[in-house]
Structure 1
């Protein structure tokens, strides 16, 4: 069952450059390794892999390059690129490479973590709690909150443990909705006192 919230505030998207650079570094490392293993396997008698597996690495490398190119196009259009399919192809390639099983596991974990880490940040409010859909998910109970204010595109949550959370809102909020939200928060703060 999906829980419904009274208010969901879409927060400003963070910059995912570090995550994208890490994904691209992993892909570049894979492409270089696969090219080397395929070249050695196809050109020497002391092959690392049988020719069929070497050609499989070439095929996997072409899939990685194709998805990477697609992601570059996404980024140019202003759409958040997800490299997870290319990372999944790279994991498949590392599985083919001798002694690459541990690297395969690392790539599979990276593949499954990219999407939850890049999800659009939101803060959801209801009568029981405040939830941030970050990774990992963060839940704050009203009894732990001193004050919540939405003003001038800035959401401020003051916690009783002297922690202050401030996040920029993605889109401007109209004054009547801002006032309604602030009143909702005041009512729930009064109930917990």
Structure 2
């Protein structure tokens, strides 16, 4: 694993819409499972009960996390819903949708970070994006705002998470200035 001298975490946006969609998926699943049980559909009742109980338990856990002002990850509840859908008649394709939603929910909430080293800047997206110093005119942090100026006239400006001070900004800016001069 490569170590980077500077890792800058960008400010997080609100996850309210993503959380709403995740909760809606869980509610739809619980409704479908309840319907399947009351209508007497040919299902594995034990699997449906376990899935529904797990979803409710995880949902409560996520609500507690949210109340503590921590980021709730609904993916385990979504995976449990996926398991329940698997046991419903013709639920395999819905199971696939839930499986994908569970994987993407975690990635969507992952903090966006940029890692800087002597050779490149790495953006921790899926897939990882590499920006080489030769592609840049300037990189600077000022007043909590990261600015990356590309040679192709593209400009990237993002707010960074609080926690850096003027000395950190000065050290980072000096590092970037030296890297840009070395590649010029």
TM-score by length of 1: 0.89
Which structure 2 residues correspond to residues 56-71 of structure 1 after superposition, within 5 A? 56-71=47-62
Which structure 2 residues correspond to residues 101-140 of structure 1 after superposition, within 5 A? 101-140=92-131
Q: Deviations over 1:165-184 (max 9, x none)?
A: 11111124222221111111
The unaligned stretches of length 5 or more in structure 2 are none
TM-score by length of 2: 0.94
Where does residue 93 of structure 1 map in the other structure?
Answer: 84
Shift in Å, 1:55? 4.3
Q: CA RMSD in A?
A: 1.4
Matched, 1:147 2:138: yes
Deviates more, 1:81-90 or 1:7-16: 7-16
Where does residue 28 of structure 2 map in the other structure?
Answer: 29
Asked whether the 8 Å contact 1:128–1:142 carries over to 2, the reply is: yes
In 1: Cα distance, 2:71 partner to 2:163 partner: 21
The unaligned stretches of length 5 or more in structure 1 are 42-47
Q: Size of the alignment, in residue pairs?
A: 184
In 1: Cα distance, 2:85 partner to 2:166 partner: 54
The alignment partner of 2:72 has SS state of coil
The alignment partner of 2:53 has SS state of helix
The alignment partner of 2:167 has SS state of helix
In 1: Cα distance, 2:130 partner to 2:16 partner: 26
Q: Deviations over 1:31-69 (max 9, x none)?
A: 11111011101xxxxxx215xx13431332121111101
Q: Deviations over 1:114-173 (max 9, x none)?
A: 222211221110011111213343221111111101111111101112211111111242
Where does residue 18 of structure 1 map in the other structure?
Answer: 17
Asked whether the 8 Å contact 1:92–1:104 carries over to 2, the reply is: yes
